Amino acid sequence: MSEMRALAEAARDEMVADLTRYIEVETPSDDKQALAAGLAWVRSYIAGALGVPAAERIVDGGERGGIAIVDYDGTSGSTGSVVILCHYDTVWSLGTLADWPVAVDGDRLTGPGAFDMKAGLVQAVWAIRFARERALPLPRIRFVLNGDEEIGSPASRPVIEAAAAGFDAALVFEASAEGRIKTERKGVGIFDIVVHGVEGHAGLDPDKGVSAIDEMARLILQVHGAADLAAGTTLNVGTVAGGTRQNVKAARADARVDVRVASQAEMDRVDALFAGLAAHDSQARVEVSGEWNRPVMQRSEATARLFALAQQAAAQIGIEVDEISVGGASDGNFVAAMGIPVLDGLGAVGDGAHARHEWVSIDGIVERSALVAHLMEKLA
């Protein structure tokens, strides 16, 4: 066992205790008061573990959770800089802990938000502690902590982009994909389609009126037909609503569409698709609204070099890590679009994001913390 791995193994129980305390501070994305308490806990935790930061700034998130930017200086002679992205909000409502408390069963720790993504912050903090204990060089480090990632980061996106500008690399402590580091993520779009038809009696006047539902059905086939799995493009009409009675031709129908793309070219093609949607009947009218929630996070040469450093760091503690491209998005997408190399999925090893069986591997917490300590050394 490497010295770093042994150091992390010795802190195993402390890391579990830290994660347990963090999970027990509930932070649902839609509860401003709970998020404020959660951010206060996180700031106190980081300062208690790493000391008073060189600088700290809080940005009000409006209706959303606040965003904290916490800076620590690099060691003497270090020239590198790293921004660490960790969201502290979860999808779990206040009170979830009452019937789902934190529990440990062998290597598995369960609890709301453990996998996505509270274990990630604990691992990042301990990685820095381990590097310091071994007197390893460290880069300048900036934590960016936001409380609205699970709802698309509407308040924190501009803060994240401004805070990451000029940094050499970004490390995102979102959960891993079966232990693999995410070096590529799809861009995500959320679009709404509204069809306005003309009401009419479906039985007495079948030749009058225009059904918005009929028009929407045609559009759904067109939208789904634009998917290109080989190119990594998916379009899914996830919800549909319309009509008032079975014997009334619907005056309105609404649909909500989720889009995932792996390239800017596909993003442009989908934009053209939505711009060109039109009603089959001239009396009906189609409206499309929405936007690209997150840009594509493409695997650049700089990201490939960053992943190679992670592989070297893993080898130092006697393990291997693989990379993966995933369909989900994160705040790493924003930073990657700025040209900054990003490693995502450095957080928990486990499974069950957004599900009641969410769990993390305690062995994974130990290994990832030791790995990131060496990775920080290389980025110094």
CA-CA distance, 112 to 330, in Å (whole number)?
A: 19
Q: Is 323 among the residues known to form the active site?
A: no
CA-CA distance, 81 to 94, in Å (whole number)?
A: 36
CA distances from residue 54 to 20, 57, 73, 141 in whole angstroms, order as listed: 27, 11, 6, 10
CA-CA distance, 174 to 86, in Å (whole number)?
A: 7
Contact 318/2 with Cβ under 8 angstroms? yes
Residue 278's SS3 state is coil
- Provide the 8-state DSSP code for 150: G
Residue of 18, 26, 116, 149 with catalytic role = 149
Q: Is 89 among the residues known to form the active site?
A: yes
Contact 117/173 with Cβ under 8 angstroms? yes
Give the burial string for 60-88 (b: 16+ CB within 10 Å, else e).
ebeebbbbbbbbbebeeebebbbbbbbbb
Taking the CA of residue 243 as centre, how many other CA atoms within 13 Å lie in the half-sphere pointing to its CB?
Answer: 16
Residue of 89, 116, 174, 323 with catalytic role = 89
Q: Is 209 left (phi over 0), alpha (psi -120 to 50) or beta?
A: left
Q: Which of 272, 283, 296, 282 is nearest to 222 (CA)?
A: 272
Q: Give bridge partners of residue 108 from the DSSP assignment.
A: 105, 361
Q: What angle do CA 143, 336, 164 make, to 5 degrees?
A: 30
Catalytic residues: 89, 149
